[in-house]
Amino acid sequence: MAATQERFTKIKTFIFDVDGVLTDGSVNLLASGERFRTVHIRDTYAIEQALKAGFRVAILSSSNADGVRNWLTNMGVKDIFMGGPSDQKVNAYLGYIARDGLNESEVLYMGDDLPDYKILSRSDVLSTCPSDAVSEIKGICQYISPNAGGHCAVRDVIEQVMKAQGKWGV
């Protein structure tokens, strides 16, 4: 845990999956065919605080829901990569890292399922997951939040990083 705490002090960019990380993985289907998700307000608050403190926050998801995109945009998240095949998430990740010249050792990624495996298994990224991630993901992550997806796992990692850097407070 001490090594992970040390890694928290170096993070400048948070990248989160949506389904199973910012949500509990449930998708509600309406008669119109529209799908909606529920997010926790504490995760929203933590993302807002991270942005205010100057951290980069990016979203990387295979799903492409207008409601999620609008919510993120209204919070001020600018780097939103949604849609596309789930087996190509690593390409979107690598494109983002290259486009913005990011150092992977300063990136925290949180994912919960097999489409996140290729990113989470990269040696330089700080790999994290919610407590209810699939076993293959939990087996490779450097930090497993005590919180489940959609139940403040995002808040947990943001708060830990910001506290380690002296940027979290009232």
Binding residue numbers? 17, 19, 112
Binding site, annotated residues for Mg(2+): 17, 112
Q: What is residue 14's three-state secondary structure?
A: strand
Structure tokens at 79: 């780097």
Structure tokens at 118: 């290729």
Q: What is residue 61's three-state secondary structure?
A: strand
Burial letters 121-142, b for 16+ CB under 10 A, else e: ebeebbbbbbebbeeebeeebe
Burial letters 23-38, b for 16+ CB under 10 A, else e: bbbeeeeeeeeeeebe
Binding site, annotated residues for substrate: 19
